Amino acid sequence: MLSIGKNAVRELLGADTKIQKLYVLKGAHDLDKMVEGARAKGARIEFCEKRVLDKLAGELRHQGVIAETSDFEYCTLDDILAIAKGKGEKAFILLLDGIEDPHNLGSILRVAECAGAHGVVIPSRRSATVNETVIRISAGAANHVAVAKVGNINDAIRKLKDEFVNVYCADMGGESIYDTRFDVDTAIVIGSEGFGVKELTSKLCDKVIALPQRGKVNSLNASVACGIICYEVVRQRYSK
């Protein structure tokens, strides 16, 4: 897997992920610190012509540096619950019901990391997975937030409810997020870009929550809605 661009590589260097190889533009002395950091992590360094980096990056802007790592390592739902328990915090988990656009997934991972979510859960089918595009859009946040890949989102919801986690479905027509308590163990289901949360998935949740809207457009982009909800969680938990 490739992490492309300065921000993605910088975040990778600060994570526990092993870097196998660092491709660097010849003569780019502003990247010397990244080279030193990658060497310290045991990475092989290859200084390349721009055309080589262009080919590796495809349509993405590489800014003179690309890191090669092994495939993204997913965790389990139990791992995410353990992260919350280890920090002594109420669980804060995002479940993504069919987010297929890698740009939306990358943006959601960035929000999740910034807001202190303990992890993100994605289904193994009909969902974007963590790849080079997702890592770049997340500005490297994908290297710092736990991501679990599960066979079935509905089974994950059932397990969370068995663990006494409150599972809320973000969809139209629900209770305002500003009237919802998030200072308890919380999981939030975010639906797909085109179809929202599936009906059965919604019924499994403890309740539906929604963003109050005053405009004429009746929905927000999934990652934007997710960000607003996440920061209501942050406000309730940490602003007192």
Tens digit of pLDDT for each residue in 113-127?
Answer: 999 999 999 999 888
Q: Is the pLDDT of residue 193 over 80?
A: no
Secondary structure of residue 22 in the 3-state scheme: strand
pLDDT at residue 109, rounded to an integer: 96
Most distant CA atoms of the chain, gap in Å: 58
Q: How far apart are CA 174 and CA 87, in angstroms?
A: 31
Q: How many helices (H) and strands (E) does the chain have?
A: 9, 10
Q: Is the pLDDT of residue 16 over 80?
A: no
Of all residues in the chain, the percent with pLDDT exceeding 90 is 65
Q: Provide the residue ranges of all domains of the chain, joining segments of one domain with +.
A: 2-69, 77-238
Q: Is the pLDDT of residue 237 over 90?
A: yes
pLDDT at residue 240, rounded to an integer: 66
Q: Is the pLDDT of residue 130 over 70?
A: yes
As assigned by CATH, the class of the 2-69 domain is: alpha beta
Tens digit of pLDDT for each residue in 57-100?
Answer: 888 889 999 998 877 889 999 999 999 999 999 999 999 998 99
pLDDT at residue 60, rounded to an integer: 82
6 vs 117, residue with greater confidence: 117
pLDDT at residue 218, rounded to an integer: 66
Q: Please name the residue ranges forming H helices in the chain.
A: 6-13, 32-40, 50-57, 77-87, 102-115, 132-137, 153-162, 199-204, 222-238
C-alpha count within 13 angstroms, C-beta hemisphere, residue 147: 28
Tens digit of pLDDT for each residue in 138-173?
Answer: 887 888 899 999 999 999 999 999 999 999 999 888
pLDDT at residue 136, rounded to an integer: 82
Mean pLDDT for the chain overall: 91
Q: For the residues 8-29, what does the mean pLDDT come to? A: 87
Q: Is the pLDDT of residue 3 over 90?
A: no
Is residue 100 within 8 A of residue 112, CB to CB? The reply is: no
Q: How far apart are CA 132 and CA 5, in angstroms?
A: 10
Least confident of 51-55, 228-232, 236-240: 236-240
**Given the structure tokens 């920090």, which residue do they identify?**
87
CATH 3.40.1190.10 is right for the domain spanning 77-238: no
Q: Is the pLDDT of residue 135 over 90?
A: no
pLDDT at residue 81, rounded to an integer: 97
